[in-house]
Every structure is written in C-alpha cells, then in structure tokens.
Amino acid sequence: MTRIFAAILALTAALLAPQGAQADEILAVRFGEHDTHTRVVVETRTPVRVRAHTLSEPRARLVLSFESASWGVSNLPDGAGLGAGLVGVFRFDGAASHPRLVFSLSGPANIRQQMTLDPAGGGYRTVIDLEPVSQAAFASVAGFPQTAATITELVAREAGVGFTPESCERIRVVIDPGHGGRDPGALARFGGMHEAGIVLAAGLQLRDILNEAGRYEVIMTRDRDVYVSLEDRVRIAREARADLFISLHADSAGDNSGPQGATVYSMNARAESRARNRAITDGNWVDISRPEEVSRILVEMSIANKRSQSELFAEALRTEVGRTAPLWRTTPMEANYAVLTDAETPSVLFEMGFLTNREDSRRMNDARERRRLMQSAAAAIDTHFAGCSATGRTFWAANAAPPALGASARCPQHPVGMFAAYAIMAPVSGGRERAVSRQPGR
C-alpha cells in the first residue's frame, strides 16, 4: 500500500511538471448567434492547446484553459469584453496557473462541439459551439467530470515515474491578524484595545519571535491598522504557497462574562465543501496537460492533506497554549470560517481568549502576557515542523510583493497540496465539537 501512495506522488509530480511552452498570443475573440447555438471563436497567432469546460457554481460559465497564452487583442487592452447570444461578459486571466478565458453564460448551456481550424486570411481558430440545455442537463456535466479510472488504475497506467521530494530550505508561515481598519472586531469591555488592535499586536510579536528563530519566512496579511477582506487573506496565503496559515482573533460571548480561555479551530465538513468548490470554480486545478480525472483526484488529495495537517497543528497549538493560559475547549474544534477554506494551505483560527472575560481581557492587553502566548504559538509551529531543518529567513511583509508561486520549500515532512499522501499523517484521534461561538469577520 505504501508503494501505491509513493506512486501517486510520482504520478502527481510528473503531471504537474512545467511544460516550458512559450505563450501564444490571442488576437481576437468573436461570437456568432444562430438559432440553435452560439459560436465562440478564439483566434491565435500560432496553434494552441486548449481545454474547454463549463462551471455551474457560483454562476454559469464557460472556461477555456490554455497550455500557454498571452493577450493581444488590440481593441480590448484590459482583457475583457462583451459577448453575444448565450455569452455575456468575458475576461482573460493570465495570472492563473494556466492562462484562461472565462465567459459568463446567460443560462445553462453545454458544449455541442469543439474544433480547431487553420488560418483563412487570419490566425488559427479555436471554435466552441454552445447550445442551451435544461438546468439538470447542465448540472450533470458542469465542473470536473466523474473520475474515469481508479487511483490504482491511474498509477498502473503511469508506472515507472520517479519523484524525489525537494529539500526543505525555508518554512513559509502566514500570520493573519483578524479584522482591522473599519472593522474593529469584538469590542473592549474592560478597557484596553478592541479585538483588531489586540490581534495585530499579537501578530507582530509572533512575527518577531519567528524571525528571531532564523528558520521561517513570515508573511503578514496586515502589519498595520487596515482592513483586509476575507477573500484577500486567503489569496495572500495561496499566492505565497504558504506552509501554514494562522489567523489570530479574540472571542466574544456577548453579555456572558463567564466563558474564558483560548480555542483553536480547524476546518469542518462545510468548510471542506467550500474549499472544494473554490478549487473547482477558480479553475486553477484545471491543467490541459493532464487527464481531467487527475485534476479531480488532486483536489481531493490536497483537501484531505490540508485537513489532516491543520488538525495536527491545532493539536500542537492547544498543547503549547495550555501550558501557559487557560483553554476554553481542550478537544478538537471545527468551524466553517472563511479564512479556513483554501483547498491547499494548512490553516487554523486561533481565538486567544474572550474579551468579554475580565481575566482574559487583562491577559491579552498585557504585552508580556501576550508575548508568552505568542511564544506558545511559536513553540507549536516549531513542533509541527520539527522534522524540517530549515535555515535562513525572509520577512516578506516588508517587501513590495510576495514570493513567486512555487517558491515555497514544501518541507517534505509536512507535504501540502498536490504532493499529499494519505498515509503520511493520521488524523487526530478523539471526538470533535461544533463551533458554538461565531463572530463576524472570521
């Protein structure tokens, strides 16, 4: 069985290897309205490899994924335009792992045919014919198709591929102080700072502790009092290809001053479903250089590994924090918070205590006590990455841009995303509880 998992890793790595092709320029996008269908024509300077599929969530779309492509439509310099017939607006996304054209659809439609035509007084043409269908028919084929082969069959078909994990040079940690700017979070009841101020101060302390260790790259979603949307917080971690995402918060129990102590949340089943939908609808897992069923498998492998790694880190964090501060819940806790819904990055949401509890509020507002809490968080991070002998550090929050995609070291003891293997880590044992305290802006 271990050999099968190793083969899955090898297959995955081979299928995701860069293809090295040069981008092919898109010269024009045209539409033809017919009684029975709408024709989409994409004209390119050279022949291109393209895969077309439809998506139903969160809205109907047609997606064309290119092996490589650049935008060269002179009368649409912004890469966006208006379609005709079944097609509404469209846009070119050159920042995706594979460049793509995304067309919004006015209603459910399936791809009747796809063909490639040689130049006839212009460029090479990729032609897609769309026909209107019922919602049920559309939903039955939209998104990734059902897997056409088992994992074992895919491995057997691609047997003999070798893979050696890359060495661990750095560990990339994203610290996310919640709220900020126009969103103060939970309000102070016993004096001191509101939630946004407390978690920013804590995040900066954790950043400094990790930088002093000399083995982490630290990225802050915010390092001052500004508002950052939930979507942007997830995007920052995804674009940085982080090895760990920790979101800092201070809880509130409303009028009840009794609840006290820290809580650590990882993703629940609903968050897992949101992560799956995000991976599919964003389209970054669609790669025309590999079978589509492999994309589906990769999504499931990534989410399974993300959840396992998140639970392992949550357990380490509860253990370390419990040495220095009270815990509200000592058992695994799960929630459907937006910042936990990336499909790849292991993530937890750390409620440091209750601002509605006098002792917790005092502890979180005291710089020394807060540093002790962040030292516990740093110890948990050290424990989680104990098998990774990283050296060197970079504080990316001080730079103009995050590191390039694919630059993360991906510690082999804690593989994430596409290099996940189910056999590496077992889930945390014991029962789980549902989150009972939910604040806006998580």
Mean pLDDT of the chain: 78
Residues shown for the chain:
442
Distances from the Cα of 270 to the Cα of 229, 267, 338, angstroms: 20, 8, 10
Share of the chain above pLDDT 70, in %: 73
Longest distance between any two alpha carbons in the chain, whole Å: 77
pLDDT(430) > 70: no
Q: pLDDT category, 298, cuts 50, 70, 90?
A: confident
Give the span between the Cα atoms of 101 and 88, in whole angstroms.
13
Helix or strand (DSSP H, E) at 314? helix 292-321
Q: How far is CA 410 from CA 243, 280, 429, in A?
A: 7, 23, 25
pLDDT at residue 287, as a whole number: 61
DSSP-derived secondary structure for 186-231 = SPPSSSS--HHHHHHHHHHHHHHHHHHHTSEEEEES-SSS----HH
3 state SS of 30: strand
Quote the CA–CA distance of 56 and 109 in Å, as a whole number.
Answer: 10
Position 69 pLDDT exceeds 60:
yes
Instruction: Count the Cβ atoms, other than its own, within 10 Å of residue 153.
Output: 12
Contact 160, 84 (CB under 8 A): no
- Range in 83-92, 229-238, 383-392 the model is least confident about: 383-392
Buried b (16+ CB within 10 A) or exposed e, 36-66: ebbbbbbbbeeebbbbbbbbbeeebbbbbbb
In b/e form, how buried is each residue of 171-204, taking b as 16+ CB within 10 angstroms? bbbbbbbbbbeeebbbebbeeebbbbbbbbbbbb
Task: Return the residue matching tokens 């492509």.
Answer: 69
Topology of domain 171-434 in CATH is: Aminopeptidase (3.40.630)
pLDDT greater at residue 411 or residue 240: 240
If DSSP codes are grouped into helix, strand and coil, which group holds residue 52?
Answer: strand
67 falls in which pLDDT band (50, 70, 90)? Answer: confident
As a whole number of angstroms, the distance between CA 393 and CA 408 comes to 12
pLDDT at 367 exceeding the cut of 80 = yes
Look at 3-7, 386-390, 394-398 and tell me which has the smallest mean pLDDT.
Answer: 394-398
Domain locations along the chain: 25-141, 171-434
Parallel, antiparallel or unpaired: strands 333-335 and 244-251: unpaired
Helical segments of 342-366, H only: 358-365
- Looking at residue 140, its pLDDT comes to 77
Per CATH, which fold does 25-141 belong to?
Immunoglobulin-like (2.60.40)
Residue 256 pLDDT exceeds 50: yes
Q: What does the pLDDT look like over 331-361, one tens digit per residue?
A: 889 999 999 998 889 999 999 999 999 999 9
Higher pLDDT, 154 or 36: 36
- The yes-or-no verdict on residue 154 having pLDDT over 90 is no
Alpha-carbon gap, residue 248 to 129, rounded angstroms:
49
Strand partners, 30: 41
- The pLDDT score that the predictor gives to residue 44 is 92
What share of the chain has pLDDT > 90, as a percent? 50
> What's the average model confidence in pLDDT over 255-262?
96
pLDDT greater than 80 at residue 223: yes
55 or 384: whose pLDDT is higher? 384
**Calpha distance 11→158 (Å, rounded):** 7
List all residues 6 or more positions away from 417 whose beta carbon is below 8 Å from its beta carbon: 302, 305, 306, 343, 344, 345
Question: How far is 301 from 333, CA to CA, in rounded Å?
Answer: 22
pLDDT in tens, 73-104: 989 988 999 999 999 999 998 877 678 899 99
User: What pLDDT does residue 95 have?
Assistant: 74
Measured distance CA(171)–CA(381) in Å, rounded: 10
Q: C-alpha distances in angstroms, 368 versus 130, 205, 363? A: 63, 10, 9
- 402 to 96, 208, 240, 396, 411: CA distances (angstroms): 16, 18, 6, 6, 19
139 vs 250, more confident: 250
Cα 418 from Cα 329, distance rounded (Å): 32
Is the model's pLDDT at 307 over the cut of 80? yes
**Spatial separation of the C-alpha atoms in residues 242 and 174, rounded to whole Å:** 6
Mean pLDDT of 268-281: 82
* pLDDT score at 296: 73
